[in-house]
């Protein structure tokens, strides 16, 4: 039994997407809980727990998108065309989150 190249690329894309969801989920959870914490020290601990790794999480998203573009260009074209507005909103959110992290320090 041989494994075809599309199956391997599908597994890579799924793995990259799941890694992004799991790792960035922690960052998003900290961001969601942040307004409910009143103590400045606790807020600093929360932000410092994600500060070293928050920007590395987007690497998984880039790997998934680039893998989809390289391995399945037709699927990428259909998905990018159908989800243009949500993808732009997500990109702007990621940019503003990065700016907020940098201005925090």
Kindly state the average pLDDT of the residues 15-19. 96
In this prediction, residue 53 has a pLDDT band, given cuts at 50, 70 and 90, of confident
Residues 6+ positions from 8 with CB-CB distance below 8 Å:
none
Neighbours of 81 (CB within 10 A): 8
What does the DSSP 8-state code read for residue 80? H
The pLDDT > 90 percentage for the chain reads: 60
* Chain segment 59-79, per-residue pLDDT in tens: 999 999 999 999 999 999 999
Residue 51 predicted with pLDDT over 90:
no
**What six digits make up the tokens of 84?**
């243009």
What total of structural domains would you count in the chain?
1
Q: Any residues with CB less than 8 A from the CB of 53 and at least 6 apart, and which?
A: 23
Range of the domain at 98: 5-104
Entry pTM: 0.83
Q: How far apart are CA 25 and CA 31, in angstroms?
A: 10
């Amino acid at each position: 039994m041989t494994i075809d190249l599309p199956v391997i690329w599908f597994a890579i894309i799924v793995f990259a997407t799941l890694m992004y969801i799991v790792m960035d989920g922690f960052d998003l959870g900290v961001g969601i809980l942040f307004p409910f914490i009143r103590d400045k020290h606790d807020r600093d601990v929360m932000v410092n727990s994600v500060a070293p790794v928050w920007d590395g999480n987007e690497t998984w998203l880039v790997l998934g998108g680039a893998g989809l573009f390289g391995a399945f260009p037709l699927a990428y074209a259909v998905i990018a065309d159908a989800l243009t507005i949500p993808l732009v909103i997500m990109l702007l959110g990621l940019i503003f989150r990065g700016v907020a992290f940098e201005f925090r320090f």
